Amino acid sequence: MHITQLNRECLLHLFSFLDKNSRKNLAKTCHKLLEVFQDPLLWNLLNFHSPVELKKDNFLLGPALKYLSICWYSERVKVCNIEDWMKNSFQKDFCNRHENTVSDFLLDVCNRCPNLLSLTLSGCGHVTDDCILQLLKNCPKLQSLKLENCVRITDHTLEAVTLYGGSLRTLHVDFCRNITQAGLQRVREKCPSVMLRAERSANMIPDSKPEKKLMLEKASRKLVQL
């Protein structure tokens, strides 16, 4: 029996065991398998392991997507997590190559995937509060939001959760150094049903530009003199 003789349900089941590249390669063999590849029901879960994978034409975004994970654990993540004002020209050039990649992809998710239930981002150092805000607005069914080592995320994201995260049940903001205790407390007060976790976040040193540090140092010296 040839694989193309199987019905649509069986083919979808078989495709579900393949990774994105294997699905794409198999879809190139005939028109029937291409139709299976393009079936939105096949794409209810997507996992990515680097920003580069987001630019490949080996997946489909659609209303069937419910679970999305973008986790980047490469050593290069450390470059993206350096404060912008501290980066040298080489580091800035490296970041410029993919600075908007994840954010642009998530905005695409906002427009195409209104039924998203779970989003996990790890090591995505360029994702901003505005991006998460738009996602919360456009994906009202979102139940789980897990952010790890996303250094540009601040209390503005926590505020957006209190305003637009009506369906949210789980919120992780681990190792997000610009989150504060005040922001976390506001989420606990406004959204008591949300399971909140913020490992190390509010205890880390936040980003601050040199002029801000100088002002703090001057203020400290004045206090010492008094």
Distance CA 189, CA 184 (A): 9
**Alpha helices by DSSP H, 52-143:** 77-80, 89-96, 101-112, 129-138
Q: Compute the mean pLDDT over every residue in the chain, rounded to the nearest whole number.
A: 86
Strands (DSSP E) contained in 117-223 are 118-122, 144-148, 170-174, 195-197
Pair of tokens at residue 225 = 């003199």
The b-or-e profile of 36-50 (16+ CB within 10 A means b, else e) is bbebeebbbebebeb
pLDDT for 107: 94
* Domains parsed from the chain with CATH numbers: 1-42 (1.20.1280), 44-224 (3.80.10)
Instruction: Judge residue 157's burial from the number of C-beta atoms within 10 Å of its C-beta, 0-12 exposed, 13-18 middle, 19 or more buried.
Output: buried
**Position 225 pLDDT exceeds 90:** no
Strand ranges of the sheet holding 144-148, from the earlier edge strand across to the other edge: 45-48, 67-71, 118-122, 144-148, 170-174, 195-197
Give me the amino acid identity at 80.
C
pLDDT for 220: 47
User: Tens digits of per-residue pLDDT, 29-51?
Assistant: 999 999 999 999 999 999 999 88
- Split at pLDDT 50, 70, 90, the class of 163 is very high
pLDDT for 51: 85
Instruction: Judge residue 95's burial from the number of C-beta atoms within 10 Å of its C-beta, 0-12 exposed, 13-18 middle, 19 or more buried.
Output: middle
User: Tens digits of per-residue pLDDT, 86-143?
Assistant: 667 766 666 666 778 999 999 999 999 999 999 999 988 889 999 999 999 999 999 9
**Position 169 pLDDT exceeds 80:** yes
Distance CA 204, CA 91 (A): 22
- Of 146, 163, 162, 157, the C-alpha closest to 199 is 146
Pair of tokens at residue 15 = 């495709």
The single-letter DSSP state of residue 140 is T
Percent helix, percent strand, percent coil in the chain, to nearest 5: 50, 15, 40
